[in-house]
Structure 1
């Protein structure tokens, strides 16, 4: 686990998932964990949508299932603000004090099937609060896999996003399935983050320091690539509408993958839908599954493949013979390579070590000067050759680029290349060296 500098692209929300007794009883103790992992995978996918403009990983670090007594003490019917306050306070008590603990969380997500507000209220959360010890939490009503959009929406509030069309100009995006619509209408076949959500997120993201560390690896059970492989349409109907609901058989000519319609055996002609398709991978006919809203022949090529790293190479040779050089090892994102929309490998493709750290003999000391001197014989500047002296650029961002100064004329020329790895960034700082064009602090 390491803290990264803010220039890296990935932000990681390490999540504590709390679920109350109503969720555990509805799904059954032996099935609830896989259901919740599938749900959180969908939330993670929603945050990976390119429309957000920032790469955020939703990483589950801990799951707690509450008993009956604790569940009814946290949720107060008809009082969403008190219920949220109770849930946030509960999450604080669960927090691991050591931020380096593998189960230390940045954000708590709580799921219940109890009603906690007016009819139809799906979730409740404070706007901004990510990384705050008490305010980084959400309360969500769980009723099937479409709840993933409610969870994503409420966590969006905690990240600083407002409702589309309320205090911003994105009201026209709600009909197209924007995640932050006041009434969540996003579905698996049609969702995106509005332009306003992206802008609001970028306004706050740099203040959320807790999202900058790499998460620990957690050994959750492996799930199939397509989430619907584990869940029939009948099961998804039961999750969406309750016990007894199954696939509606009144619409026999309708492609069952376009939209999931469900009915209860007591009233089979009264069919209900949440306006979304079944999960990708749901069986729709013998030998066929749903994929992107269509019933298609099963084809392994459709399964999204995330990339995984190859083994590390051996370390290469040292960039310097004395005075602290650098050597690298690399790995490839080809084991397997990402395909069919799968994710790139997380992390970096190279690591470096310091080598030959003993000081150089006096006449070898100035590595930057040596690199400039090598240009004396062949680098022409304004139709003349020069004796080139080392030049430290005043802009700190350019100190790992090779600039040299003419001894004869005093003019500075850019040599159109990076300095060699191991070159000091600055003559004033003996503890920072250039590595692949970036200045890195070193411990000696």
Structure 2
């Protein structure tokens, strides 16, 4: 999760039977921190950076349940499922990077849209921590006991347009339990549907936390404000790249018993999820104007004065025709956004439409198109949209230590 440069907060999770939220008696305090602040310390040992972690890429199937709340449904209406699938396509493409120590195949097993009459028993507020706890509790009760389909999923993602906050800071866009993947009580994340780019990137980022990734710069030597696991909004091509620290953290998590549900052989015996289109270009559907309108309102449009080539690295918007100044949240434009005649945005570069590859590092492709990448440093003029990760307990509900 991203936070502004404010002191990090501590979330005290009390033992409360009413919420079915049980922690080890020795683990009562969890920090919910801003980027570049100290993360919750576990026994996880980060491998020596000089040692190769994985010699071959292990296939991993990650089956997602996505729950869309009423606030997002009201905004998207009949296009809700189509929109969510497009954002998941972008997230899935980032998880297909060959830089990762595993071939991570993100699949969707169900999109569950909560309309007015169906949401009465799911309590959501703008408090991110509270809502995450309630969502985790709800998803387990609903899909394990009440849902007739009884689908299997490795992680549950809640998509909402509620402006979530942590300790009064409303710049949050996501929250997840660190290392919560495969744990039925903690394999949850909340992602704010503030714009197509923010949602797709937040889903990617929060899955990273569920798989044990920390923010870059937190208990590791990777630079913050650059890559996917940055604690801050980033711009440019590096926004779509995994840092070496994220790669190592993923390898460590996958080697632990916590990752057993992701075993490809095991998942083959279950009802398969729907494969996602990792070469999708949703910017063709949700253009630059639409992306601006989701953030700044119905009268907003893409800034006419911005260089179309550079907007792929950082999209600028006008809030309305009366306000000529350009504003930005610091994010790149969505994949497939038009950036000129027969050109579209691909991972922060403006390239010919004949180029569609999302995989690997597209830097060489972009340079061949004579498009220089924008830098990935933090934009001081941009607002920040924080992510947050809440460390999952190191014991199960009976107090038995989980092997890391």
Normalised by the size of structure 1, how large is the TM-score?
0.58
1:128 aligns with 2:179: yes
**How big is the shift at 1:241?**
3.0
Asked if the contact 1:43–1:148 (Cα under 8 Å) also holds between the matched residues in 2, the reply is yes
Q: How does 1:319-398 map to 2 (within 5 A)?
A: none
2:203 to 132, 147, 151: 151
Determine if the alignment matches structure 1 residue 76 to structure 2 residue 125: yes
Counterpart of 2:370? none
Offset at residue 278 of structure 1 (A):
2.3
Work out whether residues 95 and 105 of structure 1, in 8 Å CA contact, stay in contact via their aligned partners in 2. Answer: no
174, 193, 197: which one pairs with 1:142?
A: 193
The answer on whether the counterparts of 2:235 and 2:313 sit within 8 Å (CA) in structure 1 is: no
Contact 1:52 1:194 in 2 (8 A): no
Match of 1:108 in 2: 156
Distance in 1, Cα, partners of 2:82 & 2:69:
16
The reply on whether 1:231 has 2:291 as its aligned counterpart is no
Alpha-carbon deviation of 1:222? 7.5
- Counterpart of 2:228 (choices 138, 155, 179) is 179
CA–CA separation in structure 2 for the residues paired with 1:202 and 1:224: 25
1:321 match: none
Alignment of 1:274-313 (within 5 A): 274-285=329-340, 287-295=342-350, 298-299=353-354, 302-304=355-357
Indicate the residue corresponding to 1:31 in structure 2.
79
**How many residues are treated as equivalent by the alignment?**
292
Greater strand share, 1 or 2?
A: 1
**Aligned mate of 1:13, from 46, 58, 62:** 62
Other-structure match for 2:88: 40
Counterparts of 1:150-299 in structure 2, within 5 Å, are 150-170=202-222, 172=223, 174-175=224-225, 177-185=226-234, 190-206=239-255, 207=257, 208-212=259-263, 213-214=267-268, 216-217=271-272, 225-251=280-306, 255-265=310-320, 267-285=322-340, 287-295=342-350, 298-299=353-354
Distance 1:252 1:122, change over 3 A: closer
Q: Secondary structure at the match of 1:269?
A: coil
Within 2, Cα distance between the matches of 1:71 and 1:178? 38
Displacement of 1:211 in angstroms is 0.8
Q: 2:72 touches 2:193 (CA, 8 Å); kept in 1?
A: yes
Q: State whether residues 10 and 57 of structure 1, in contact with CA within 8 Å, keep that contact through their aligned partners in structure 2.
A: yes
Helix, strand or coil at the partner of 2:239: coil
Separation in structure 2 between the aligned mates of residue 191 and residue 292 of structure 1, nearest angstrom: 6
> In terms of Rg, which structure is larger?
1
In structure 2, runs of 5+ residues without a counterpart are: 1-55, 360-364, 366-404
Counterpart of 1:190 in 2: which secondary structure?
helix
Structure 2 counterpart SS, 1:250: coil
Q: Higher RCO, 1 or 2 (CA under 8 Å, sep at least 6)?
A: 2
Unaligned runs of 5+ in 1: 1-6, 307-339, 341-444
Matching residue of 2:110: 62
The alignment's C-alpha RMSD in Å is: 3.1
1:250/1:268 contact within 8 Å kept: no
- In the TM superposition, residue 305 of structure 1 has moved relative to its aligned partner by 9.4
Change (3 A) 1:256 1:66: same
